[in-house]
Chain A
Amino acid sequence: MAKNQRALRSAIALAGVSAFALTACTGPSGGGGTSTGGAGGGTITYGTTDKVVTLDPAGSYDAGSFMVMNQVYPFLMNSKPGSSDAVPDIAESASFTTPTEYTVKLKPGLKFANGHALTSSDVKFSIDRVVKIADPNGPAALLSNLKSVAAKDDSTVVFTLKAGNDQVFPGVLAANSGPIVDEEVFPADKVLGDDEIVKGKPFAGPYTIESYKKNELVSLKANPDYQGLLGKPANDGANIKYYADSNNLKLDVQQGNIDVAGRSLTATDAADLEKDSKVKVHKGPGGELRYIVFNFDTMPFGAKTADADPKKALAVRQAMADIVDRDAIATQVYKGTYLPAYSVVPDGFNGAIQPLKEMYGDGNGKPSLDKAKKAFADAGITGTVNIKLQYNPDHYGKSSGDEYAMIKEQLEKSGLFKVDLQSTEWVTYSKARTADAYPVYQLGWFPDYSDADNYLTPFFVPGNFLKNHYENSAVTELVTKQLTTVDKGEREKVLGEAQTAVAKDLSTLPLLQGAQLMVAGADVKGVEQTLDASFKTRLGVISK
Chain B
Amino acid sequence: MTTLIEAPPSDADGLLPTKKKKSGGGLGQYLLIRFLLIFPTIFILVTMVFFLMRITGDPITAALGGRLPPDQLQERIHAAGYDRPLPVQYFEYLGQLVTGNFGTTLSDNRKVIEMLATYGSATLELTINALIVALLVGIPFGMIAAHRRDHLPDAVLRVFAILCYATPVFFAGMLLKLTFAVWLGWLPVAGRARTSSELALTGLQAPTGIYWLDALRSGNMAALGDVMAHAVLPALALGLLTAGIFLRLVRTNVIGTLGRDYIEAGRSRGVSEFRLVTKHAYKPALIPIITVMGLQIAVMLGGAVLTETTFEWKGLGFQLANYLTARDFVAVQGIVVLLAVIVAVTNFIVDIVAALIDPRVRY
Contact present for B190 and A251 (CB under 8 Å) = yes
Among the listed A22, A53, A244, which residue makes an inter-chain contact with B221, where contact means beta carbons less than 8 Å apart? A22
A435 interface residue (CB < 8 Å to B): yes
- Chain B hits for A23, CB < 8 A: 225, 228-229, 232
A366 interface residue (CB < 8 Å to B): no
Contact present for B327 and A243 (CB under 8 Å) = no
Contact present for A25 and B225 (CB under 8 Å) = yes
Nearest to A436 among chain B residues (CB) is B69
Instruction: Report the bound CA distance from A346 to B201 in whole Å.
Output: 45
Interface residue stretch chosen among A27-35, A312-320, A460-468:
A27-35
- Chain B hits for A43, CB < 8 A: 196
Contact present for B202 and A34 (CB under 8 Å) = no
A239 interface residue (CB < 8 Å to B): yes
Contact present for A255 and B199 (CB under 8 Å) = no
Contact present for A33 and B194 (CB under 8 Å) = yes
B168 interface residue (CB < 8 Å to A): no
Nearest to B309 among chain A residues (CB) is A244
Nearest to A32 among chain B residues (CB) is B194
A252 interface residue (CB < 8 Å to B): yes
Instruction: Report the bound CA distance from A213 to B117 in whole Å.
Output: 13
Among the listed A25, A33, A244, which residue makes an inter-chain contact with B196, where contact means beta carbons less than 8 Å apart? A33
Which A21-77 residues have C-beta < 8 A from chain B?
Answer: 22-23, 25-29, 32-34, 36, 43, 45, 53
A248 interface residue (CB < 8 Å to B): yes
Contact present for A28 and B199 (CB under 8 Å) = no
Nearest to B135 among chain A residues (CB) is A12
A258 interface residue (CB < 8 Å to B): yes
A414 interface residue (CB < 8 Å to B): no
- Chain B hits for A435, CB < 8 A: 64, 67-69, 72
Instruction: Report the bound CA distance from A217 to B196 in whole Å.
Output: 11
Which B158-198 residues have C-beta < 8 A from chain A?
Answer: 181-182, 185-191, 194-198
Contact present for B203 and A211 (CB under 8 Å) = yes
Interface residue stretch chosen among A127-135, A424-432, A480-488:
A424-432
Given known A33-B194, A211-B202, A248-B190, contact A428–B185 (CB-CB < 8 A): no
- Chain B hits for A213, CB < 8 A: 118, 202
Q: How many B residues touch A, CB cutoff 8 Å?
A: 48
B312 interface residue (CB < 8 Å to A): yes
Q: How many A residues touch B, CB cutoff 8 Å?
A: 45
A437 interface residue (CB < 8 Å to B): yes
Whole-angstrom distance between the Cβ of B122 and the nearest chain A Cβ: 10
- Chain A hits for B63, CB < 8 A: 428
Instruction: Report the bound CA distance from A130 to B199 in whole Å.
Output: 33
B318 interface residue (CB < 8 Å to A): yes
B226 interface residue (CB < 8 Å to A): yes
Contact present for A214 and B108 (CB under 8 Å) = yes
Given known A26-B229, A211-B203, A244-B312, contact A428–B326 (CB-CB < 8 A): yes
Nearest to B310 among chain A residues (CB) is A245
- Chain A hits for B226, CB < 8 A: 26, 33
Contact present for B326 and A248 (CB under 8 Å) = no
A257 interface residue (CB < 8 Å to B): yes
- Chain B hits for A25, CB < 8 A: 225
Instruction: Report the bound CA distance from A258 to B194 in whole Å.
Output: 9
Whole-angstrom distance between the Cβ of A13 and the nearest chain B Cβ: 11
Question: 4 other contacts beyond A217-B199, A425-B325, with CB at 8 A cut-off?
Answer: A19-B228, A22-B224, A22-B228, A304-B69
Residues of chain A at the chain B interface (Cβ within 8 Å): 2, 16, 19, 22-23, 25-29, 32-34, 36, 43, 45, 53, 193, 211, 213-214, 216-217, 219, 239, 241, 243-245, 248, 251-252, 255, 257-258, 304, 424-425, 427-428, 432, 435-438
The 3 closest A-B pairs by CB, nearest first: A437-B67, A22-B225, A26-B225
* Cβ contacts A to B, 20 pairs, < 8 Å: A19-B228, A22-B221, A25-B225, A26-B229, A27-B185, A28-B186, A33-B226, A36-B196, A211-B199, A216-B314, A248-B191, A248-B312, A251-B190, A255-B189, A257-B188, A304-B69, A428-B63, A435-B68, A436-B67, A436-B72
